[in-house]
Amino acid sequence: MQPNLIRGIHDYCVERGNDANVLKYSRYFKDGLYNGFGLTSAQIYEGAKEFLRMPGISLQTVIDAAPDIIRHGKYEETGILMLLAKGLHKQYTRETFDNFSSWYKYGINNWAHADTMGMMILPVFLNKHIVTFTDFSAWLIAENKFQRRSVPVTMIKILKTHENYQELFTFIECLMSDPEREVHQGTGWFLREAWKQKPAETESFLLKWKESSPRLIFQYATEKMTPEGKAKFRRQKR
């Protein structure tokens, strides 16, 4: 099944390639990180549905195919792989979580795939109580910046059910001084969503970091605030 899945996904993408879309989609990725065939989102989702209907498809099949597919580096192939993993979520275990962690070293190298993991796949482990947010500790210092980004993006999904926001803020605090732009974006996004739920607590945390954290974090975190609200988080002139 594994070689058939790898070849099947590749052939599906080749048959639907669109050079005009390749040029169009490349604009959304910095540093040439879009390496794809130009499939639309609808085609990617339809492909995943098609492969989920294959006889004998299982999460283990997807896990076995992942290293080759991700290393191949084609955007849509990895996207379909991730949607297959999402569709087979009933088979998740703690071992699955550890395996998915290894996907980043194979070549998850763009914000879209990092956010697919963070929004669609990783929250399942939290919601099913397979892991807790503290099981992401090693991810916070991972070499792959997109693995680090996935942590705050994943935690967005537990903001409505987790009461102790200070606990979450303390956990992601090291990302407030991360050197990478993509991590700044993910962290700011998380803080923006946290502010929507608990503005006072979130603002207290932001004030602590306003003089030292990258401004992009604050650009995202304060996006929904009024002009007067944003003004509180401007750095003091020196």
At 48-104, the pLDDT tens digits run: 999 999 988 999 999 999 999 999 999 999 999 999 999 999 999 999 999 999 999
Q: What is the mean pLDDT of residues 157-182?
A: 97
Q: What is the pLDDT of residue 235?
A: 87
What is the pLDDT, as a whole number, of residue 2? 60
The SS3 assignment for 29 reads coil
Q: Does domain 110-238 have CATH number 1.25.10.90?
A: yes
Domain positions in the chain are 1-91, 110-238
pLDDT-derived band at 3 (thresholds 50, 70, 90) equals low
How far is CA 145 from each of CA 128, 149, 178, rounded to the nearest angstrom? 26, 6, 9
- How many C-alpha atoms does 53 have within 13 Å on its Cβ side? 6
Residue pLDDT, tens place only, 111-157 = 999 999 999 999 999 999 999 999 999 999 999 999 999 999 999 99
What is the signed CA dihedral for 131, 49, 114, 150, rounded to 10 degrees? -20
Report how far apart the first and last C-alpha atoms of the chain are (Å, whole number). Answer: 63
Surface-to-core class of residue 184, CB atoms within 10 Å of its CB (0-12 exposed, 13-18 middle, 19+ buried): buried
**Does residue 197 register a pLDDT over 90?**
yes
Q: What is the pLDDT of residue 30?
A: 76
